[in-house]
Amino acid sequence: MKQILKDWIIEIVILGAAIVLAVFNPSKVGSALFSATKTYLNLFLVIVAVALLSSFISVTIPKQTIGKIIGKQSGVKGILIGATFGTLMVGPAYMFFPFFKELRDKGAGANIIATTIGAWAIKVAWMPFAITVLGWKFVLLFNGLIFVFAILSGILVGKFFKE
Amino acid sequence: MNTNIIEGIILLIFVIVLYTVYFYRGNKVKIKDASKKSIKIFIQNSIRLFAIFVIIAILEKFLSPNAVSAFLLKFSGLIGIIVGALAGSVMMGPAATSYPLGQYLLAHNASVTLVSAFLFTWVGIGVISVPLEFKFLGRKFTLLRNSFTFIAAILIALIMGVIL
């Protein structure tokens, strides 16, 4: 019981807050629940895929393999793999946190994961839209700087993070 | 179609191919273990993510994008960068929502620096997903990564301001 409480404390607090708000403003909370459900359904396939992928990696891939490819010592190659993966992915990064945890448990370096999350801010799929709205100069410079930052933040996190 | 659904389909096809290949070429018992484990992970992740979606939705009811833009137009200079970066950290939602806001701000004489800081932390930092990051990646990692991202937002904003 104590363990359950510890594991789910955040969700329990959110539930409590939602109930309190619902007493004062049922219609707002109702429409919030509705739009949360819509978001969940939109992301349902991603959530299923992430669960399958996380368990696949945890069961089938040996620790040394992950460590070799994206371990702390994987160097420039590992950083570039992380940066490329993060750049190409779309959708919110936090959806992939459980997947990153699985990789971390399997020996992926904190530096590589930090780089991946940093590069997640680049949205290749949305770039054409961003260019029409903000202009190509802004968008290219902006995303170029984010890419450089992603790599630097990985290096810095790696420096501060003793594994 | 929604990009999240397209991404979901692509990812799912990839995972199904992975499972099928491993089932025939690799170890059938391990694939069964992985499938069983994935159900547990799926249920846990669903609850955690749904809770986050609820807070985001409640937040959206109180902080409309228009209200945030109007608020940001009151600031400029270094304070503008910091306020922009803070506002972007609190805002959540698809990056595509943030671009027209950026355009609106620029059209109303907000500085490039403020807009860059706002757009970067919008996708780079999520105050609301921090508890989730704590849970999965640890406190130290989360604090380090988010602090660097915040500092980077300000630096990137300043560089953008100098060049553009």
Where are the domains positioned within chain B?
1-62, 63-164
- The average pLDDT across A115-122 equals 95
Chain B residue with minimal CA distance to A115?
B145
Q: What is the total residue count of chain B?
A: 164
**Higher pLDDT among residues B5 and A101, named by residue:** A101
Three-state secondary structure call for residue A101: helix
Distance CA A58, CA B159 (A): 42
Tally Cβ neighbours within 10 Å of residue B22.
17
Token reading at A9: 């404390």
How many CA atoms are closer than 13 Å to the CA of B21, on its beta-carbon side? 8
- pLDDT, residue A12, reads 85
Sign, Cα dihedral of B89, A104, A83, A120: negative
Give the pLDDT score at A163: 63
* Boundaries of every domain in chain A: 1-60, 63-163
Contact A123, B123 (CB under 8 A): yes
CB contact under 8 A, B38 and A134: no
d(CA B98, CA B93): 8
Let me know: does A136 contact B132? Beta carbons within 8 Å. Answer: no
What pTM, to 2 d.p., does this model score? 0.88
pLDDT at B114: 96
**Least confident range of A13-27, A140-154, B18-32, B115-129:** A13-27
Q: Are A86 and A117 in contact (CB under 8 A)?
A: yes
Distance of CA B155 to the CA centre of its chain: 19
The answer to whether B157 and B120 have CB atoms below 8 angstroms apart is yes
Q: What are phi and psi of B32, to 5 degrees?
A: -65, -45
Contacts of B129 in chain A (CB under 8 A): 92-94, 97
Residue B19 CB: number of other CB atoms within 10 A? 19
* Distance of alpha carbon B117 from alpha carbon B61, whole angstroms: 23
- A51 and B42 within 8 Å at the Cβ level: the answer is yes
pLDDT of residue B1: 56
Question: Which residues from chain B sit within 8 angstroms of residue A59, using beta carbons?
Answer: 30-31, 33-34, 37
Report d(CA A65, CA A49) in Å as an integer. 22
Cβ pair B56:A36 closer than 8 A: yes
pLDDT number for residue B86:
95
Residue A109: which of A89, A81, A88 has the closest Cα?
A81
What is the Cα–Cα distance from A141 to B57, expressed in whole angstroms?
32
Cα–chain-centroid distance for residue A59? 21
Cβ <8 Å between A39 and B102: no
Q: Are B21 and A50 in contact (CB under 8 A)?
A: no
Predicted-complex ipTM score: 0.87
Res A162 pLDDT > 80? no
Indicate whether B95 pLDDT > 90. no
> How far is it, in rounded angstroms, from Cα B150 to Cα A157?
14
